[in-house]
């Protein structure tokens, strides 16, 4: 799956070049250093999901195009059967499945997230919009700003993702649905 993940920076580079946008301009629009942007585009650093939304907006393409290289096709209904979602392994112990990848013009991103417990500190991220998480299995420690909360299966949280936040599995593997409106 790591090979598939490397296709995302390749698509970004190709689209950026087609649109004649230089790397410095992309870095500036994304609010990152030139060096950081280059590490995203060459695949040496994982691109945070929130950054992928921003890249898609700058390149005027859907999030799906970055993930799959293909345009969404459905405009009134999109059914994703079990096992057919677009799966992305973000890094060891964290993967998600895009549950709406084939819907044109969507204004939210519902995803099934699976996280494994880790000894490493989980990096906090932030992005625009609003976020909702609903725990399906396991236990998750979610940090939003300075506040830590433990959620178990059946618990949910709705929060402002502009605040730095992270999710970590407590004990065993955990799964949750996240719905992000980042538009």
**pLDDT per residue over 110-123, tens digit each?**
999 999 998 888 88
Q: Following CA atoms 44, 45, 46, 52 in sequence, which dihedral angle do they give, to the nearest 10 degrees?
A: -100
Q: Is residue 93 part of a domain?
A: no
Q: Is residue 83 part of a domain?
A: no
CB atoms within 10 A of CB 92: 9
Place of tokens 């992005």: 127
**Last-in-domain residue among 68, 89, 121:** 68
What DSSP character marks residue 2? H
**Last-in-domain residue among 53, 68, 83:** 68
Confidence label for 5 from pLDDT (cuts 50, 70 and 90): low
Q: Is residue 86 part of a domain?
A: no
Which of 134 and 61 is assigned the larger pLDDT? 134
Query: pLDDT above 70 covers what percent of the chain?
Result: 95
In angstroms, the CA 102 to CA 67 distance is 11
**Average pLDDT value for residue range 155-168:** 94
pTM exceeding the 0.85 threshold for the entire prediction: no
Confidence label for 135 from pLDDT (cuts 50, 70 and 90): very high
**9 and 56 share one domain:** yes
Q: Is residue 90 part of a domain?
A: no
**Average pLDDT value for residue range 157-161:** 95
CATH number at residue 134: 2.60.120.10
**Last-in-domain residue among 12, 47, 68:** 68
Place of tokens 């993702």: 161
Per-residue pLDDT of 35-74, as tens digits, reads 999 999 998 888 877 788 889 889 988 888 888 777 777 7
Q: Is residue 88 part of a domain?
A: no
Per-residue pLDDT of 13-39, as tens digits, reads 999 998 999 999 999 999 999 999 999
Q: Is residue 76 part of a domain?
A: no
Domains contained in the chain, number:
2
Give the closest residue to 63 by CA, choosing from 8, 22, 10, 1: 8
Domain holding 29, by residue range, is 2-68
**112 and 175 share one domain:** yes
The pLDDT of residue 62? 82
Pairing of strands 130-144, 109-115: unpaired
Q: Is residue 163 part of a domain?
A: yes
Which of 76 and 20 is assigned the larger pLDDT? 20
The pLDDT of residue 1? 39
**112 and 176 share one domain:** yes
Q: Is residue 143 part of a domain?
A: yes
**113 and 174 share one domain:** yes
**63 and 117 share one domain:** no
**60 and 125 share one domain:** no
The pLDDT of residue 183? 59
Pairing of strands 94-98, 109-115: antiparallel
Q: How high is the mean pLDDT of the chain?
A: 88
CATH number at residue 49: 1.10.260.40
């Amino acid at each position: 799956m790591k090979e598939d993940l490397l296709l995302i920076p390749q698509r970004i580079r190709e689209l950026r070049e087609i649109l004649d946008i230089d790397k410095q301009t992309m870095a500036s629009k994304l609010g990152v250093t030139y060096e950081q942007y280059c590490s995203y585009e060459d695949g040496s650093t994982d691109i945070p999901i929130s950054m992928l939304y921003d890249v898609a907006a700058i390149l005027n393409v859907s999030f799906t195009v970055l993930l799959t290289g293909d345009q969404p096709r459905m405009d009134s209904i999109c059914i994703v059967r079990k096992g057919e979602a677009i799966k992305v392994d973000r890094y060891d112990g964290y993967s998600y499945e895009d549950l709406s990848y084939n819907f044109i013009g969507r204004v939210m991103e519902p995803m099934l997230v699976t996280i494994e417990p880790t000894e490493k500190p989980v990096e906090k991220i932030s992005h625009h919009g609003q976020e909702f998480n609903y725990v399906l299995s396991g236990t998750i420690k979610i940090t939003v700003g300075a506040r830590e909360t433990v959620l178990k299966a059946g618990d949910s949280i709705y929060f402002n993702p502009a605040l730095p936040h992270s999710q970590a599995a407590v004990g065993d593997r955990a799964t949750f649905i996240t719905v992000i409106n980042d538009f």
